[in-house]
Amino acid sequence: MIAHVFVDAENIPPSVTFKVVEHFGKEHTITKVDIVAKEDTLPYKYRNLDEKIYRVQNCFYGKNSADTWLCFEMVRAIIDEPDLELIIIVSSDKDFLPAIKFAVDFDKKIFIVSNGAGHKTLAEQLKILNVNLDAVELKDFRLKFGDVPSKLEKFLPLLSFRVKKYLFDCEDRIKFILVKKGKEIFEVPFVAGMTIQVFGRILRELNILSYSDSLRSFISKNFLKLTRGNRIYFRSEAELSEPTLAEQIAEYFSEHAAETIKIFIKHNSRLSEIPFVDGMPLDIFDKLLREKKIIGKSASIAQTATKNLLKIVDDKIFLCNDEEQIAAYEGTIKNIDEYFSFHAAELRKIFIKHNGKFFELPFVDGISLELFGKLLREKNIIGKSTSATSVAKKNFLDIRDGKVFLCGEDRLIELYAESTGDLQAYFEYHADDAKNIFVKRNGDLFEIPFVDGMPIKIFDKLLRERKIIGRNSSAIKVAAQSLLDVHDERVYLIGEDELEAAQDDLETDLEGYFIEHALKIRTISIWHDVNIYSIPFVDGMPIKMFGKLLRERKIIDRKISVEEVIANNDLDLRGEKVFLK
């Protein structure tokens, strides 16, 4: 078809324009590309183009002047170009609707290429204007421009961008299956191995399921299977003919009749008697509880087993012996009085200091942090918003694996040193771990003792006592300049790979680079991990600068390759510099 392209350059980047011309030029004969924008907003890539094809139109000034000019040029092309068959509009605005109606009335085919955000609204407005929708095709430049399967195309107006992008990326693997909801049958796009989250989103966006409907039940009833990794597949013929849940359970207990006993299971304050085989597979036990409606589909089988003093080993479930039952029972205790009765022989008295006051309270070495917090609140020592962890640490109690312990003498010395900032006590305790390192401050090097993982509070006090920094200086800044890593309020040495990347960052003056290239800075959009970020960019900036910019903006961390981000966006790496394509 003979085609004419019209570009609203005020809201479409050059990269999209050139992709459109390249893609549609393979199937159609593009005679002209009109690029409309005000002179002062025109990107430099639209300059010095082939004048035989490209024509840049300066629309002078005014808020909607580009849209008005675009409509005018479309009408003029329809009248002056009798061979014109196809009009391609590249814009994210909707102010050219009258021109579209005019073009369709003259039997022209229309492609509208935009960011897809307003496609649904645009289709509704075209319908109101009595425009023949068969003559208009909406293309999303964030997705593929190519023709999609006709079956998929009818679903697109109802789907969100994330779902559309997923389906476009999996285009070669899409199957169209029939699913049943109640008495109604629906056709839906399906990709074998898709996650339950994506499948659920598709069903809800197509108004087949509501958020109150059970997605897992729907999957089972439609002869699909859900794996442990929450991915959905077709059932094989063998799986379709396998016995029902009740038949599987009956067959298992028939084979183990001599070993079957009766036990009671408690769930939601209700006791239920069930058959049980010591060492039975966990999945059979799970199916048994669900088939007897003791637990629901969302309940955790492992949690139910633990609460009933059963143990799980290698995906099998067993009765606990006496010692194991005692230990398991202790884990279920949530009441303070019940806990202290259970540990009466281990009970002792300790003093707790909070807000300048001392309180005597009962204590069991190894009490769970949850129960310790409950005890402090029942005794009115702390309020609801106060952290039990903070109180424990201030009173030199040790917290390990979610439990609270009294400290041994060595650990007490360490905690005291960390909380008070006593450098001598800290380095005496860590004498075997201490080493001398050099730190950098304002170009000068200083040798200091150092313990890998030392608290930032100790590190800060050490720098001040050595007069390396003053009152208003930052220990964290010194750590960064000295290629040390600070996280979780502690200071660490970093590995060789991180050391090299950190050295690159120190040698890269990002602020100075942007000041030097202020007149060339533009804002571009970067896609990474399904998110869009707007960043400043200079065409031809060094890859080290670009990498540091991405890390400073928290777009990537040091584990993500800068080259990977460049490859996934409209960017080109030539040598050691990054360019827009």
> Whats the size of the chain, residue-wise?
581
With contact defined as beta carbons under 8 Å apart, do 9 and 42 qualify? yes
Q: What is the pLDDT of residue 29?
A: 93
With contact defined as beta carbons under 8 Å apart, do 370 and 377 qualify? no
Distance CA 281, CA 271 (A): 22
Closest C-alpha among 167, 176, 232 to residue 200: 232
- Sort 288 into a burial class: Cβ within 10 Å, 0-12 / 13-18 / 19+: buried
- Sort 396 into a burial class: Cβ within 10 Å, 0-12 / 13-18 / 19+: middle
pLDDT bin (cut points 50, 70, 90) of residue 455 is confident
pTM for this model (two decimals): 0.34
Q: b/e for 46-59, b at 16 or more Cβ within 10 A?
A: beebeeeebebbeb
Q: Stretch 82-96: mean pLDDT, rounded?
A: 84
The residue among 25 and 242 whose pLDDT is bigger is 25
pLDDT bin (cut points 50, 70, 90) of residue 170 is confident
The residue type found at 309 is L
Q: Which residue has the tokens 């001392």?
A: 358
Q: List, in order, residues 6 or more apart from 331 with CB less than 8 Å away.
A: 306
The residue type found at 182 is G
Take residue 522 and report the two structure tokens written for it: 């533009």
The H-or-E segment that residue 186 falls in is strand 184-191
pLDDT bin (cut points 50, 70, 90) of residue 518 is confident
pLDDT digits (tens, 9 = 90+) for 171-223: 778 899 999 998 899 999 999 999 999 999 999 999 999 988 888 889 888 88
Q: What is the pLDDT of residue 112?
A: 87
β-bridge pairing 2-8 and 29-37: parallel
